[in-house]
Amino acid sequence: MPRKALITGITGQDGSYLAEHLLALGYEVHGLIRRVALEEPERRLSRIQHLAGRIQLHAASLESYPSIFHVIKRVDFDELYHLAAQSFVAESFADGFSTMNSNINGTHYVLAALRELRPACRFYFAGSSEMFGTVQASPQNESTPFHPRSPYGISKVAGFHLSTNYREAHGMFCCNGILFNHTGPRRGFEFVTRKITRGAARIKLGLDRELRLGNLDARRDWGHAADYVRAMHLMLQQPEPADFVIATGISHSVRQFCQLAFGELDLDYREFVKIDPQFYRPAEVDLLVGDASKAHRLLGWQPTCTFAELAREMVAADLETLGKTPILAGTG
Instruction: Rule CB under 6 A: choose which of 279, 306, 308, 316 binds ligand F7E.
Output: 279
Shortest distance, CB of residue 210 to ligand F7E, whole angstroms?
12
Question: Interface with ligand F7E includes 249 (CB under 6 A)?
Answer: no
**Who contacts 79 (Cβ-Cβ below 8 Å, separation ≥6)?**
3, 4, 5, 6, 27, 121, 122, 123, 124, 236
**What's the rounded Cα separation, in Å, for the pair 296 and 112?**
31
Cβ closer to ligand F7E: 65 or 279? Answer: 279
167-196 residues near ligand F7E, rule: CB under 6 A: 180-181, 190-193, 195
CA angle 160, 291, 155 (to 5 degrees): 20
Question: What is the amino acid identity at position 25?
Answer: L
Binding characters for ligand F7E, 308-327, by CB under 6 A (x = yes):
--------------------
Cβ closer to ligand F7E: 67 or 102? Answer: 102
- Options 20, 28, 79, 130, the catalytic residue: 130
Question: Interface with ligand F7E includes 284 (CB under 6 A)?
Answer: yes
| Residue-wise burial string across 210-223, b where 16 or more C-beta atoms lie within 10 A, e elsewhere | ebebbbbebbbbbb
Q: DSSP assignment of 273-290, as one string?
A: EEE-GGGS-SS---B--B
64 phi and psi angles, rounded to 5 deg: -130, 110
CA 262 to chain centroid: 24
What is the pairing mode between strands 174-179 and 182-183? unpaired
Instruction: Rule CB under 6 A: choose which of 41, 214, 249, 263 binds ligand F7E.
Output: 214
Shortest distance, CB of residue 280 to ligand F7E, whole angstroms?
7
Question: Interface with ligand F7E includes 89 (CB under 6 A)?
Answer: yes
- Options 152, 166, 228, 269, the catalytic residue: 152
Shortest distance, CB of residue 288 to ligand F7E, whole angstroms?
7
- Options 67, 92, 102, 128, the catalytic residue: 128
Instruction: Rule CB under 6 A: choose which of 129, 140, 155, 248 binds ligand F7E.
Output: 129
Instruction: Rule CB under 6 A: choose which of 21, 70, 147, 281 binds ligand F7E.
Output: 281
Cβ closer to ligand F7E: 60 or 225? Answer: 225
Does the annotation mark 130 as catalytic? yes
Shortest distance, CB of residue 220 to ligand F7E, whole angstroms?
5
Question: Interface with ligand F7E includes 23 (CB under 6 A)?
Answer: no
**Who contacts 43 (Cβ-Cβ below 8 Å, separation ≥6)?**
none
Does the annotation mark 39 as catalytic? no
Does the annotation mark 138 as catalytic? no
35 with 59: CB under 8 angstroms?
Answer: yes
Beta strands in 22-78 (DSSP E): 28-33, 55-59
**What's the rounded Cα separation, in Å, for the pair 126 and 168?**
18
- Point out which span in 96-104, 215-223, 233-241, 300-308 binds ligand F7E (CB under 6 A): 215-223
Q: With CB under 6 A, what is the number of residues at the site for ligand F7E? A: 22
- How many Cβ atoms are within 10 Å of 57's Cβ, its own excluded? 18
**What's the rounded Cα separation, in Å, for the pair 332 and 325?**
11
Cα separation values, 271 from 198, 215, 267, 268, Å: 16, 17, 8, 6
Question: Interface with ligand F7E includes 215 (CB under 6 A)?
Answer: yes
Instruction: Rule CB under 6 A: choose which of 23, 51, 59, 90 binds ligand F7E.
Output: 90
- Point out which span in 3-11, 108-116, 207-215, 231-239 binds ligand F7E (CB under 6 A): 207-215
Residues found near ligand F7E in the complex (CB under 6 A): 87, 89-90, 128-130, 180-181, 190-193, 195, 213-215, 218, 220, 254, 279, 281, 284
What residues are annotated to the active site?
Answer: 128, 130, 152
